[in-house]
């Protein structure tokens, strides 16, 4: 079974600064996908960024970038120029191949990010 570890229960960052949220994963698959989702207090999971295991470049989406280190099995999320609206829970997830081709997501426990003005 695959496993996602997020070791930071909470992180604080000053507005306009960059912050890195840690994620390590464990899998024996050669082909896999890694995701980051944001969950505000309203509860909806918002997709941020995706990294495929065979992608040669680190993924970037606007202010979000994924620092993918395959040998270390880490997929850290970097948020640049933090904004107050970035305060939320952040979840790292891995796509796991299941029965019937489900490709379900396995999530970590999340990191609560607080952006201070």
The answer to whether 94 and 33 are in contact (CB under 8 A) is yes
User: Please, which residue, 78 or 106, has the CB nearer to another protein?
Assistant: 106
Least Å distance, CB 40 to another protein, is 11
Among 2, 50, 78, 87, binds another protein (CB under 8 A): 50
How many CB atoms neighbour CB 19 within 10 A? 19
Element (H, E) at 89: strand 88-96
The site string for another protein over 2-41 (x = CB under 8 A, - otherwise) reads: --x----------------------------x-x-x----
Q: How far apart are CA 56 and CA 68, in angstroms?
A: 9
> Does 56 contact another protein by CB under 8 A?
no
User: Please, which residue, 43 or 117, has the CB nearer to another protein?
Assistant: 43
Give strand pairing partners of 107.
93
């Amino acid at each position: 079974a695959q496993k996602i570890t997020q070791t930071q229960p909470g992180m604080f960052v000053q507005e306009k600064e960059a912050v890195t949220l840690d994620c390590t994963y464990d899998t024996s698959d050669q082909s896999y996908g890694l995701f980051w989702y944001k969950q505000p207090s309203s509860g909806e999971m918002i997709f941020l960024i995706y990294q495929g295991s065979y992608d040669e470049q680190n993924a970037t989406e606007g202010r979000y970038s994924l620092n993918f280190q395959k040998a270390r099995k880490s997929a850290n999320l970097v948020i640049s120029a933090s904004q107050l609206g970035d305060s939320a829970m952040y979840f790292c997830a891995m796509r796991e191949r299941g029965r019937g081709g489900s490709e379900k997501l396995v999530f970590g426990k999340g990191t609560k990010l607080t952006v201070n003005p």
